[in-house]
Amino acid sequence: MTHTPLSALVTGANKGIGLAIARQLGTNGYRVWLGCRDLSRGEAAAVQLRSEGIDARAVLLDVTSDTSVAAAARTIDGETGGLDVLVNNAGLMFGQPPSLADESMDEIRQMFETNVFGVLRVTQAFLPLLRRSKAARIVMMSSGLSSLTDALDMRSETWTVGFGGYCASKAALNMVTVKLAKELDREGIKVNAVDPGLTSTDMTGNGPGHAPEDGARPAVALAMTHAFGPTAGFYACSAAGELLQKNW
């Protein structure tokens, strides 16, 4: 039997796109768990959402730590008894490297640890809870910079963009998305990746881009997709808020 209300975990949710995703899911009736490395910041964000009438709770969750992820899964299991939505939003990107030939191996390793291994670590830990839902959804926060098709297209806006290590980590995440979607399809669990578009957040230096609320829309749409909705896809949102399929 599905637990009520519907519940969602958003990693990296104390600020930026993650907080916006949590807010939008919360306004749609979900109990939202804010997975955060810094519990005090997570609690502050949860208090903010609760003041808006959202059932929000913070949980300590460092996606790079087996111990932390396992503890978070036990906490949510004990409180909620299951999970309906997992949004793997936590991510890491460093400043513009000089070139891939000179990029720091240590920084690339850290990005893969968070953007790929961390996502898989969290997903594996929470799959037992997701399997208790009648219609579980997993959403991966990817990037337009992950597309091999666009990277090879001279007409693409990403043609001249560097960030080789970051792009490679998100391309690897896309493959994880497809493999998981194929494995979990027969269980009714839908798995998709999203491109939030250029969003003004701390990760991007709060520079050009749309607001986190806009960057959150494709993730929320896929988290709430119906039984005939997509799986194993890569999506963005149009200016009108419609889902647009992207090239891997």
What is the set of active-site residues? 166, 170
The CA distance from 202 to 18, in Å, is 12
Please tell me the distance from the alpha carbon of residue 219 to that of residue 60, in angstroms, as a whole number. 22
Helix (H) / strand (E) element for 41: namely helix 39-50
| Phi/psi at 52 (5° precision) | -95, 5
Extract the tokens encoding 97.
């490297």
Secondary structure (3-state) at 245: strand
- Of 1, 21, 20, the closest CA to residue 81 belongs to 1
Contact 137, 189 (CB under 8 A): yes
Contacts of 201 (CB under 8 A, 6+ apart): 15, 16, 17, 209, 212, 215
- Start-to-end CA distance of the chain, whole Å, equals 36
Interatomic CA distance for residues 116 and 174, integer angstroms: 9
- What is the Cα–Cα distance from 133 to 85, expressed in whole angstroms? 9
Q: Do the bridges between strand 234-237 and strand 243-245 make them parallel or antiparallel, or are there none, so unpaired?
A: antiparallel
